[in-house]
Chains A and B, each alone.
Chain A
Amino acid sequence: MKRFFLALAAFAVSAVLSAQEYTGGVKGTVVSRSDRQPVENARLTLLQGATELAATVSGEDGTFQIGNLDDGMYTLVIVAPDFLETQVQVTVNDGYVKNMFNLSLSPVQRVTELDEDSFAAFDMGDSGYNDNPTILFGSNDVFNNIAGYNFSAVRFQARGYSSESQDVYLAGVKMNDAITGYSPFSLWSGLNEAMRSKETVNGAEMSDYGFGGYNGLTNIFGNADNVRKGWRGSVLTNSSLYRLRLMGSYATGVMDNGWAFAANVSARLGGNDWIDGVYYRSFAYYLAADKVFGDAHKLSMVFFATPGQRGAQNASTQEVYDLMGDNMYNSNWGYQNGVVRNARVRKTNEPIAILKYDFTPSDKFEGNVTLLYRFGKNGYTALDWYDAQDPRPDYYRNLPSYFFDVNADMNRNNMLKYAWAKEVWGHASDFPELTHVNWDRLYQVNGIQEGGRSKYVQEERHVDQRDLNFAATFKWRAGSRVTVNGGLNARINRTEYYKSVADLLGGKYFVNIDNFAERDFAALPYKLQNDLDYYMKNGKAQTLGVGDKYGYDYYAQVRNVGGWLSGKFSFGNFSAHVGGRLGYESFWRDGLVRKGLFPGLDANGNKLVVDGITIEPTYEADGSVTTSYGRSKVSRFLNYAGKLGLNYIIGGTMRVYANMGYFNDAPKFNQVFLSPRTRNSIVSDLKTIKTFSTDLNWQYSGNGINVRATAYYTTIDDQSKVMSAYDDLQNAFSNFAISGIDQRNMGIELGFKVPTYVVPNLSLQGVLALGRYEYTSNPRMTQTVDNSAETVMSNVLVPYWKSTILSDGTKVQHYVPSTPQTAASLGLSYNYDYWFIDADVEYFGDSYLDMNPLYRTDYAVAGLDNYITDEEVSYMTMQEKFDPAWLVNVSIGKSWYIQRKYQLGFSLNAKNLLNNRNVKTGGYEQTRLVDNTVSKERFYRFDPKYFYMAGTNYMLNIYFRF
């Protein structure tokens, strides 16, 4: 009602004013103070005294103009979502239009830089699981702004979608990994300044930069003139990841000669307070240049990389954490010569070069073409050993539970050893050689081997990409009511997967044989060869030095091409968009070495003869020869999708909109090959993934109030995945190919920020994410092992994957894991005179552990007696639900202008002030069964492994800009 009268008064005043013709006015561009980017939809209200004279909204480029003003002094009030309300005094003289140039607004969001660094590198080992974070962006969205930061600590995934579904673009090119689909934030980690400028849409909304999926699209501009002008330096210290980050950037902005240059460098160094062995030694550099030719053409060149290494954190069982008295225990490292040494180190150097051409011939049309190339190396080290004891300190046979269990059927009953093991793990500081990696022992073992053959080495598992991308997009304002967007894209990706020797650990050489195969085929040396061609040529296995490739070596080849088109139609306050996408994707495996276990045929299609033995090939279901070498069958898929969006603006402050989409997507390379390390075999009955998603949203933004409420419903059908886990019962890597996974995600999102009206500049803010993400099908599974062509289980039903009702009526519930299905945050936000203080309380609940398919089969449930009881179903198929968690976070920040020239500021984020150290953020079930029971009637599960969140931690960032 108040707004109504205000509007009425403004209308009356303007009506009076309009009766006179004045030539004076005020114009300018509203920009963000943090990155100098235009702020769209800022509301500008012109006051004279207490009387509102005029109001307008800034355009897409941040510009505004208010005309027809008499000479005089005015107050211009600027309000925009997620920015501090700002007032400036304006004097109009002599009937001129006063140009205010850039009016900068300070963001109200925390000066926190959420990026891939905010997530510890979790080492999922050989578990077969992945853990790729989802990062929520969108300072213009109240939900994402609060949830993106506050919920990152628990690895919150918006609407329960996996990170693969989040489309991340760089300079108009979709950067999601070609093989896995994972979002690629690590590629520019540490280049926060260069990559700050971005635009995000949520859910199934349409974007100008790409068609997008159902989990939002973020486009990072990345070119020189999007880096904020001037020098900027920052020093950051962080207690939960790395000790120090130094960052500097410089950008010229677009100069008179049409050039713009930008550079950004950073170093992230040191360990942290919480996880021993996790360290950073990461660097980053970014160089970019833009050249504007006339009004219509711009060429952008970008080159950046983030070379470095970081130690990873490992998951352990709760037994280990409890014995160590530390849920942050990391089994990956040990001391050597007083130096911390981590066995699992990610080493990356993947430069990216971008060439982009923007074409803007008129106000009605803009287009761009981008060529992007990614190359370099990406490796992950791990210990490898040949015919030697398992060096991992928390190997299950080193733990008390291996020696005693109260359940007599487990056949673990040696109290003496149990007590000894408890003594070791309970007094870890007295037994560092047993509770951490004992590097000295590894060197000593290698040192006494005849001839210097290493028994232990540190391997590096490479995933080296050559990724060439082409993208072209355009935007055509066909009329006042119609805007058309579209684009074409193509990708050629060749990713080489291989292992190399990173360190011989004091030995002189390693040998390229498959030690898993040796157990079964010791009498047939050719079968042990990782490189049979080398063996056939040289009569012996290849000996290896540092840097040599071994084990496996193959290309994953991916090709895709596609196009999309969308139209936006505006009719007053109502608008609609409709769009479609069509694409074609193909991929295949190209084996670069011939493995002795799966040698296939020779170049002429004849059977191989080795050591006088004619090798009989094995065959796939389609009759083709199983082989490790050469090109596999090509999998081809036609992709398509459609979207519809409706949008209605009510009174300039309220918006109701809905989106709907259907997506038919190809599975990814890593979901298709049964055992790509060893052979070309693919999952039978491959299907595309079908997704239907819809959401309904209500948004209010005005008078300092920001609210968004969303309800969503999504079904994702026919998903498949392949998990690999080392199975010490089979003494081999075991592969579980699961297909036909359906899930349903539905829920509501609410985000709000409202003034308290009690204390000036104090707002109440909060978010609520209430979801229910369930599996709705029972998939099928095929189990194979790396060292045999025979299937262990072939296309068996996994009958206990989705929730199950027992015969007594009780229900065993199963949910989509890896994110809280209930998450809430409530807090206060104070902003005044460039200070901000935020304090929030968060709640996370209904979070579930990742499930393995093996525990949900009849085989595992029935046990050795092949008899299924409700108790066995309940025990074996149970999915662990994590305890709910409460967290308190506080952020404070301030910036100063010095001599109107320099800006100095800081932000301090203190997280988890309750020091809650029992918050599980993820984990996985071990894909193993205890079968050595006394009764021989049933199996038992191995303990799952978990990751925990750090206790109280902080991040202090001090920056200086001029």
Chain B
Amino acid sequence: MKKTLIALGAALMALASCQSLKEEWQPVFTFGEIEPEALTLYTESTLPGFSGNFVTIKDLKSRYRSGGVEISGNTWIKGQVISDDRSGNIYRELYIQDATGGIDVKVGKSSLYSDFRLGQWVYVYCDGLTLGAYNGMPQLGAEADNTTTNEYETSYIDLQAIIDQHVFRGAYADPVSPVVVEEADIKAALSSGYTGELWGKLVTVKGLKYGNEIFALLYPNSNLSHKSSNPENRVFLSSPQNDRDRIPGFDYTWGITTWAMSKAAYIGYIRSGKWDTAEVGSGSTRYGPITGKPKDYLTDGITLQSFGFDADLPYKEIMIKYATANYVSHYFTLGDTSIQVRTSGYAKFSDEKLDERILDGSATVDITGILSIYNGAAQFTLVDEPSISVKVY
């Protein structure tokens, strides 16, 4: 009996304690105050594996080759953060710039402004990353996806482990002042191609005049293929490339007076009837206006099948049924140089109206954002809700 009792006590002690005190009895947070670990901000001396030399962003961009190139040779760049995705107009991209230029680092996470402040120094270890371009604009990203279409030369750096290997946050600093650029600067940059120093930089452009035309590519059924080889699911809101094809008096803004279109605004525009003459199709394949139905336009049974029960609906109704937010590019001119201001439908200011005086041409506008090159033309991305300086003339 006594032995049994002793054995019992010993067993209880053993089981209750020796199962590894460090695990079972390790402290547990049960609410209250706790001291978090301090955020590590790197300096050049604390960067892991840094050998002491940076290449400039300009030099890095000069390494670009068509199709993309993997960076090697212990290459580091540094720059200050100039992008802020708080407004939602920039998404999953981090722009940094040094004295020689700016570059889009495709850190594929949302809400990057939570981690990167405007003006903060960022160090990028480029080895293993890919320098590619999107429609002529250099980008630093991860290895491209191995798709059959090879649409993109880079992919997002969206795995945190890869971000942690390559992107290091440095000291906070004052936000970078935008470079004020003139038409000549933009022309010079355009003539330099992708190596132009202005591309990817934070700039202010003054005196922009509204061009009275926009560009938007819409997908009636947003779930179906977006590829250019599927023109039956494409609607372009644009203007003819040749002036001779323009219809006198036609409104090539398609009635769009907002910077972009949230889902609700998109539906509102469709219902307004201002797009009723927009045609389904792309390139030389044009089916007819969006008031028609897929079954009216499509003879290919398989293509028609893809619309299923929607084949009997007018495209206009299909667009409402599958509505999503949509970007819009507004055309402005600076002298005789055309500049697109492209705004995402997910931007918080997407449904903000452009000032009437801008639209009616009685005022010019000064805007600040990131300048990029897009298929040989200048494109402008607003960082935040435009605090536009309107100059009446």
Beta-carbon contact of A338 and B27 below 8 Å: yes
Residue interface bits A384-419, CB-to-B below 8 A is 1, else 0: 000111000000011000010000100101111100
Per the bound structure, the CA–CA distance linking A403 and B146 in Å amounts to 10
Q: A916 contacts the other chain (Cβ, under 8 Å)? A: no
Asked if A50 is at the interface (CB within 8 A of a chain B CB), the reply is no
- Write out the residue numbers on chain B whose beta carbons fall within 8 Å of the beta carbon of A239: 15, 19
A414 touches B308 (CB 8 A): no
Selected contact of B86 from candidates A237, A387, A421, A502, CB within 8 Å: A387
CA distance A520 to B348 in the complex (A): 9
Q: Which A928-962 residues have C-beta < 8 A from chain B?
A: 931, 934, 936, 954, 956, 958
Provide the bound-state CA to CA distance between A867 and B350, in Å: 37
Tell me if B279 is interfacial: C-beta within 8 Å of chain A. no
Q: Do B111 and A397 touch across chains, with their CB atoms under 8 A apart?
A: no
Residues in B270-313 with C-beta less than 8 Å from chain A? 302, 305-309
Q: Residues of B contacting A956 with CB < 8 Å?
A: 11-12, 15
A434 on the interface (CB 8 Å rule)? yes
Interchain CA distance A936-B149 in the complex, whole Å: 15
Chain B binder among A442-450, A471-479, A749-757: A442-450
Contact between chains at A862 and B308 (CB < 8 Å): yes
> A779 near B: Cβ within 8 Å?
no
The residue from B224, B263, B347 contacting A936, defined by CB atoms under 8 A apart: B224
A520 to B264, CA, bound (A): 7
* CA–CA, A463 and B62, complex, Å: 60
On whether A388 and B111 interact (CB within 8 A), knowing A439-B36, A936-B225, A956-B15, the answer reads yes
Interface size on B, residues (CB 8 A): 66
Mostly, the A contact residues are mixed
Chain A positions within 8 Å of B88 at CB level: 522
On whether the beta carbons of A272 and B86 are closer than 8 Å, the reply is no
| Interfacial chain A residues near B347, Cβ < 8 Å | 522
Q: Pick the residue among A309, A339, A411 that contacts B147 (CB under 8 A).
A: A411
Q: Which of B34, B143, B162 has its CB near the most chain A CB atoms (within 10 A)?
A: B34
Q: List the A side residues contacting B45 at CB < 8 Å.
A: none
User: Are the C-beta atoms of B16 and A237 separated by less than 8 Å?
Assistant: yes
Q: Does any Cβ of A come within 8 Å of B159's Cβ?
A: yes
Q: Which residues of A contact B93 (CB under 8 A)?
A: none
Separation of A202 and B161 alpha carbons in the complex (Å): 55
CB–CB B8/A958 < 8 A: yes
Q: How far is the CA of A417 from the CA of B162 in the complex (A)?
A: 8
B385 to chain A, nearest CB (A): 10
Minimum CB distance partner of B37 in chain A: A440
Q: Is the CB of A523 within 8 A of B114?
A: no
A864:B350 contact, CB within 8 angstroms:
no
- Within the assembled complex, what's the spacing in Å between the Cα atoms of A271 and B37? 24
Most buried by B among A342, A449, A523: A523
Docked pose: A904 CA to B34 CA in angstroms: 43
Residues of the A chain whose Cβ atoms lie less than 8 Å from the Cβ of B145: 413-414
Task: Let me know if A523 and B349 touch, CB within 8 A.
Answer: yes
**Which residue of chain B is the closest to A242 with respect to CB atoms?**
B24
> Cβ of B36 and Cβ of A443 under 8 Å apart?
yes
Distance in Å from the Cβ of B175 to the closest Cβ of chain A? 12
Residues of chain A contacted by B15 (CB below 8 angstroms): 237, 239, 954, 956
Specify which of B34, B263, B305 is in contact with A339 (CB 8 Å cutoff): B34
B36 touching A339, Cβ below 8 Å = no
Contacts of B24 in A (CB 8 A): 243, 270-273
Within 8 A of A (CB), among B339-357: 346-352
Residue A906 interfacial (CB < 8 Å): yes
Distance between A381 CB and nearest chain B CB, rounded to angstroms? 9
Residues of B within 8 A of A866 (CB): 305-309
Determine whether B110 belongs to the interface, using a CB cutoff of 8 Å to chain A: yes
Contact A398/B160 with A387-B114, A388-B111, A447-B39 known, Cβ cut-off 8 Å:
yes
Q: Is A518 an interface residue (CB 8 A)?
A: yes
Whole-angstrom CA separation of A77 from B198 in the bound complex: 102
By a CB distance below 8 angstroms, the chain A residues around B350 are: 522-523
Contacts of B19 in A (CB 8 A): 239, 243, 273
Interface contact A448-B264, CB-CB below 8 Å: no
With CB as the reference atom, state the residue of chain A lying closest to B9: A958
Chain A min CB distance to B301 (Å) = 11
> Are A341 and B8 in contact, CB atoms less than 8 angstroms apart?
no
Contact code string B28-55 (vs A, CB < 8 Å = 1, else 0) = 1111001111110000000000000000
**Nearest A residue to B20, CB-CB:** A273
Interface centre among B160, B263, B348, B351 (most CB of A within 10 A): B160
Residues of B within 8 A of A309 (CB): 30-31
Q: How far is the CA of A411 from the CA of B307 in the complex (A)?
A: 22
CA separation between A904 and B6, bound complex, in Å?
A: 12
A336 interfacial by beta-carbon distance below 8 Å? yes
Cβ-based interface call for A22 (8 A): no
Given A273-B24, A281-B30, A387-B114, do A434 and B161 touch, yes or no (CB 8 Å)? yes
Chain A residues within an 8 Å CB radius of B224: 864, 936
What sequence of 0s and 1s flags, for each residue 121-150 of chain B, a beta carbon within 8 Å of any chain A beta carbon? 000000000000000000000111111100
Q: In the complex the two chains form, is A339's CB within 8 Å of B29's CB?
A: yes
Contacts of B31 in A (CB 8 A): 309, 345, 502-503
When distances are taken between beta carbons in the complex, the residues of chain B under 8 Å from A506 are: 36
Q: How far is the CA of A455 from the CA of B162 in the complex (A)?
A: 23
Contact B225 A243 (CB under 8 A): no
Residues facing A in B79-111 (CB within 8 A) are: 86, 88, 109-111
> Do B28 and A281 have beta carbons less than 8 Å apart?
yes
**Given A339-B29, A522-B351, also A444-B36 (CB < 8 A):** yes
Scoring A273, A416, A443 by chain B CB atoms within 10 A of each residue's CB, the highest score goes to A416
**Measured between alpha carbons, how far is A279 from B19 in the docked complex, in Å?**
15
Q: When the two chains form their complex, are residues A445 and B115 in contact, meaning their CB atoms are under 8 A apart?
A: yes
B158 within 8 A of A: yes
- Please measure, in the bound complex, the distance between the C-alpha atom of A388 and the C-alpha atom of B110, giving whole angstroms: 7
Closest Cβ of chain B to A851, distance in Å, is 24
Identity of the chain B residue whose Cβ is nearest the Cβ of A399 in the assembled complex: B159
Are A455 and B307 closer than 8 Å at their CB atoms?
no
Whole-angstrom distance from the CB of B151 to the nearest CB of chain A?
11
Tell me whether A875 is interfacial, beta carbon within 8 Å: no
Residue of A nearest to B117 (CB): A448
- Closest-CB distance, A886 to chain B (whole angstroms): 25
Q: A896–B4 Cα gap in the complex (Å)?
A: 10
Whole-angstrom distance between the Cβ of A22 and the nearest chain B Cβ: 42
Residues of B within 8 A of A931 (CB): 223
The minimal Cβ–Cβ distance linking A15 to chain B, given in whole angstroms, is: 48
Residue-by-residue, is B142-181 near A (CB-CB < 8 Å gives 1, otherwise 0)?
1111111000000100111110000000000000000000
B1 at the interface (CB under 8 A from A): yes
* B262 CB contact (under 8 Å) in A416, A439, A522, A894: A522
The answer on a CB contact under 8 Å between A389 and B114 is yes
Cα distance A142–B30 in the bound complex, in angstroms: 42
A896 to B158, CA, bound (A): 64
Q: B142 touching A455 by the CB < 8 A rule?
A: no
Partner of A279, one of B28, B114, B147, B346: B28
B387 close to A (CB within 8 Å): no
Chain B residues within an 8 Å CB radius of A337: 34-37
Q: Interface centre among A235, A389, A411, A423, by most B CB within 10 Å? A: A389
Residues of chain A whose beta carbon lies under 8 Å from any beta carbon of chain B = 235, 237, 239, 243-244, 270-273, 279, 281, 309, 311, 336-342, 345, 387-389, 397-398, 403, 408, 411, 413-417, 420-421, 423-424, 431, 434, 439-440, 443-445, 447-449, 455, 502-503, 506, 518-524, 862, 864-867, 894, 896, 904, 906, 908, 931, 934, 936, 954, 956, 958
Q: List 13 A-B contacts (CB under 8 A).
A: A311-B28, A337-B34, A339-B27, A340-B26, A340-B29, A388-B111, A411-B147, A414-B146, A423-B161, A439-B36, A523-B262, A864-B223, A908-B11
Closest 5 CB pairs of A and B: A866-B308, A523-B351, A443-B36, A341-B29, A522-B348
A-B contact sample (20 more), CB < 8 A, given A243-B16, A337-B34, A414-B143: A237-B16, A239-B19, A271-B23, A271-B24, A273-B19, A336-B37, A387-B86, A398-B160, A413-B147, A417-B158, A417-B159, A421-B161, A434-B160, A439-B36, A448-B114, A519-B325, A523-B352, A866-B305, A867-B308, A958-B12
